[in-house]
Structure 1
Amino acid sequence: MGSLVRAEFRKIFTTNLWWGLLIPTVLLGVLWSWGFSAFGSAVVERLTSTPALEGVDAGDWMVSVFGFARGANLTTLFPMIFGALAVAGENYRRTITTTFLTASSRGSALGAKLVVYTVVGLGFGVAVALSASLGTVLGAGNTPLPGGAGWFLLTLTTILESTLWTLFGVGVGALVGNIFGAVIGLLIYAVLVENLGAYVLSSALETTVPTVLPNGAASGMPGAVAADLFLDKVGPINPLVEKEARLVVEAAAGAQGAFPWWANTLIFAGYTALFICLGWLVTGRRDIS
């Protein structure tokens, strides 16, 4: 297994793909979180300076955390793409035959990929967390920033989200087998299909649909933390509007209807495990000749 793991690392770091995806991950993470954090700061400044809203005490609102959550949720799509290429990319380049023939079994080759892409997903997660942190600090203005415990939870959930998206991509890529189908299909689903489906379902049921689907659960990991940090800073809310206020805050964090972050993590981890198992089974039987 050790030689297979080393071989997988060489496949990654002797090509340009990893840093070709890492650069936009960092740049977009900084810019996106900076933009959302600055927008929130501008809204708070407007609220505190509007005479008609003199009773609104918005000076202590921690709107900066929304920028972090939004930046993290967008840029973790890049490690998802990277993971999707683990098996599908080798199918495209016709190197999967050599990979399987030089391993003791297809299972050991796929196991080595999972080990390596877990490590790479963790690395991407650290990069995403650092870039989102920088953008959040730059855009926060006079609005408060989270304390040490808050930063830790935001960073932890971001790293977990990045790692799980990477492995989710590995599973989907192994299941589909086609590089274009895996990458384009994942992007369309994550950006459009699930969001549109959740909106239509929420409208039909006239209620917010919980984050029980993959993208919603993933977004709810840092999103739920951001919502909790904001609401803790705001203080007690009138019970008559508490539910509606939380939905608004969760929507600002990009995680409307989110469960607690640990529950979202378990849900998304379940989907990841499911697609890894499906990809493992299909790849084990796929003709590679």
Structure 2
Amino acid sequence: MGNLIKAEFRKTLSLKTWWVLLIPLALVAFWLTFFWGKLTNDFADYIGSSDAREIARAVGLDASKLPVGLLAFAHGVNIAQLIPGLFGVFALAGEYRSKTITTTFLTAPNRVTALTAKMLTYVAWGAIYGLVSFGVSAIAVMASVDSGRWPSAGQWLAALGGTILASVLVTLFGIGFGAVLRNVPLAVVLFLVWFLIVENVLVVALWGQTDILGGILPNGTANGIVGGIAADAFGINSLNLPGGVDHWSALGLQLAAGAPGVISWWASALIFFAWTMLFFGLGWAGNQKRDIT
């Protein structure tokens, strides 16, 4: 297993994909966080003074001292985590396209071992992407938000753990998604269209009828890991909304954290883990007997 993992790392390091994707990851994470930091820095103006007072009262803080940097941070890393998802899509689907999957399977004792080595390798890559995303987003928060509105030390640590966890899971989701489709262009287009457009349109369009979609669908639950940490800090998740904040104001706040309909960070993590295992399991099963010639 150790040799197979080394081979997977050598395989990815021999290509430009890993560092080419780090560039948009850093740019997206920094500039989206910076933009949202500027937007939410004056919290009362962003959501309305009455809602700001109600949320501040619920969490026991002055409205000017609420950690709005956490909202900006969550929004930035949630969009940026699509990059490790794309990296995961290339992991197996890319090997079918380049025909290197034949060598991968033939040099391993069996396909289960080969796919396990790939999974463990990309867990490490997902963690690396998560660390980079956290670092640049944290810098963007400090550059765009007043220091009195930065997350606390505990919130920073929670955001770090949540970012790494989300990045790892999205990477594995991408592997499974690509393995099911086996077509890199199709997988990339469908992945981006669903995560960036289709699901978000559904969640917002149906918000007046139900807010559950954002708490159960793949994009919403992936975003809800870090977004849920921000929502919990403000008491604005779907299960714990201050009485004076109306349904539509809650949508605006949760959108600021990039996670409309979020239940809580741990619930989002569990549900997205289930989505990840579903696609990873389908991809795994489909590759056990698939012809590689």
TM-score (ref. length: structure 2): 0.88
Aligned pair in 2 of structure 1 residues 43, 54: CA closer, same or farther (>3 Å)? closer
Render the CA deviation track for 1:18-64: whole Å, top value 9, x for unaligned: 0000121112211110111011125557899x9xx999964223222
- Determine the structure 2 residue equivalent to 1:109: 114
CA shift, 1:239, in A, is 2.8
Matched, 1:207 2:214: no
- Determine the structure 1 residue equivalent to 2:26: 26
- Determine the structure 1 residue equivalent to 2:59: none
Render the CA deviation track for 1:226-258: whole Å, top value 9, x for unaligned: 1222349xxx99635476654442232121221
- Determine the structure 1 residue equivalent to 2:72: 67
Render the CA deviation track for 1:163-186: whole Å, top value 9, x for unaligned: 000000011111111111111111
Could you tell me which amino acid in structure 2 is paired with residue 254 of structure 1? G
The equivalent position to 1:84 in structure 2, one of 78, 84, 89, is 89
Do 2:127 and 2:165's aligned partners in 1 also have CA atoms closer than 8 Å? yes
CA distance in structure 1 between the partners assigned to 2:9 and 2:242 by the alignment? 54
Aligned pair in 2 of structure 1 residues 66, 97: CA closer, same or farther (>3 Å)? same
CA distance in structure 1 between the partners assigned to 2:34 and 2:171 by the alignment? 24
CA distance in structure 2 between the partners assigned to 1:249 and 1:2 by the alignment? 46
Unaligned runs of 5+ in 1: none
CA distance in structure 2 between the partners assigned to 1:47 and 1:209 by the alignment? 22
Q: Aligned residue pairs: how many?
A: 281
Residue 202 of structure 1: SS of its match in structure 2? coil
Render the CA deviation track for 1:49-108: whole Å, top value 9, x for unaligned: x9xx99996422322211100100010000000001011111111111111111111111
Matched, 1:256 2:256: no
Do 1:41 and 1:142's aligned partners in 2 also have CA atoms closer than 8 Å? no
Aligned pair in 2 of structure 1 residues 37, 93: CA closer, same or farther (>3 Å)? same
- Determine the structure 2 residue equivalent to 1:39: 39
Residue 284 of structure 1: SS of its match in structure 2? coil
Matched, 1:228 2:227: no
CA shift, 1:281, in A, is 0.9
CA distance in structure 2 between the partners assigned to 1:200 and 1:246 by the alignment? 15
Do 1:72 and 1:129's aligned partners in 2 also have CA atoms closer than 8 Å? yes
**Map 1:93-132 → 2, pairs under 5 A:** 93-132=98-137
CA shift, 1:114, in A, is 0.1
- Determine the structure 2 residue equivalent to 1:285: 289
User: What is the RMSD of the two structures over their aligned residues, measured on CA atoms?
Assistant: 2.6
CA distance in structure 2 between the partners assigned to 1:30 and 1:79 by the alignment? 16
CA distance in structure 2 between the partners assigned to 1:271 and 1:9 by the alignment? 26
Unaligned runs of 5+ in 2: 57-61
Could you tell me which amino acid in structure 1 is paired with residue 24 of structure 2? P
CA distance in structure 2 between the partners assigned to 1:256 and 1:155 by the alignment? 21
CA distance in structure 1 between the partners assigned to 2:18 and 2:212 by the alignment? 36
Do 2:40 and 2:46's aligned partners in 1 also have CA atoms closer than 8 Å? no
Do 2:203 and 2:260's aligned partners in 1 also have CA atoms closer than 8 Å? no
Do 2:33 and 2:76's aligned partners in 1 also have CA atoms closer than 8 Å? yes
CA shift, 1:134, in A, is 0.8
The equivalent position to 2:157 in structure 1, one of 148, 152, 155, is 152
TM-score (ref. length: structure 1): 0.89
Residue 288 of structure 2: SS of its match in structure 1? helix
Question: Identity over aligned residues, as a percent?
Answer: 37
Could you tell me which amino acid in structure 2 is paired with residue 59 of structure 1? S
